[in-house]
C-alpha cells in the first residue's frame, strides 16, 4: 500500500512540474504547487501551512487553497483554525464538493479531543 501511495504522489509531482513548465504563471499551476506539501504525509503540517498561507495571499478566495489550508490546520491540531477556514470556504463556495468531508473531519477531531 505504501508503494502505491508513493507512486501516485510521484505522478502528482511530475504532473505539477509539467504544468509549471508549460504555463508557470497560471493560477491553477500555482494553486497545485501550493497544495503539494499538504498532500504529502512526510511533510510537516507547519511547513505546508507556510506555503498555503503564501498562496492564499495571491488567491484569498480559492476554494482549493482554502480546503487544503483548513485540512492542514486540522492535521496540525488546530481544529478552531480549521473550522474558521471552513466557514470562509462555505461562504466563498457553499457547494464545494469536499466541504462535507472537511466538516465531518473537523467534527470528528473535536469529538475525539473533547472540544
Q: What is the pLDDT of residues 42-69, one digit of tens each?
A: 889 999 999 899 999 988 999 999 999 9
> Is residue 2 scored above 50 in pLDDT?
no
The CATH number of domain 2-113 is 1.25.40.10: yes
pLDDT of residue 3: 40
Other CB atoms closer than 10 Å to residue 44's CB: what's the count? 13
Neighbours of 24 (CB within 10 A): 10
Check whether 6 has a pLDDT greater than 60.
Answer: no
What pLDDT score does 86 carry?
A: 97
Cα(first)–Cα(last) distance of the chain, in Å? 33
User: 60 is written with which cell numbers?
Assistant: 484569498
Instruction: Parse the chain into domains and list their residue ranges.
Output: 2-113
Amino acid at each position: 500500500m505504501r508503494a502505491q501511495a508513493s507512486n501516485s504522489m510521484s505522478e502528482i509531482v511530475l504532473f505539477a512540474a509539467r504544468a509549471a513548465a508549460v504555463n508557470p504563471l497560471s493560477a491553477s499551476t500555482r494553486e497545485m504547487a501550493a497544495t503539494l506539501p499538504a498532500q504529502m504525509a512526510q511533510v510537516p503540517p507547519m511547513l505546508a501551512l507556510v506555503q498555503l498561507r503564501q498562496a492564499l495571499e495571491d488567491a484569498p478566495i480559492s476554494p482549493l487553497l482554502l480546503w487544503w489550508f483548513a485540512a492542514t490546520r486540522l492535521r496540525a491540531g488546530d481544529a478552531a483554525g480549521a473550522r474558521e477556514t471552513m466557514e470562509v470556504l462555505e461562504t466563498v463556495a457553499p457547494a464545494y464538493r469536499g466541504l462535507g468531508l472537511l466538516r465531518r473531519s473537523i467534527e470528528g477531531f473535536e469529538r475525539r479531543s473533547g472540544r
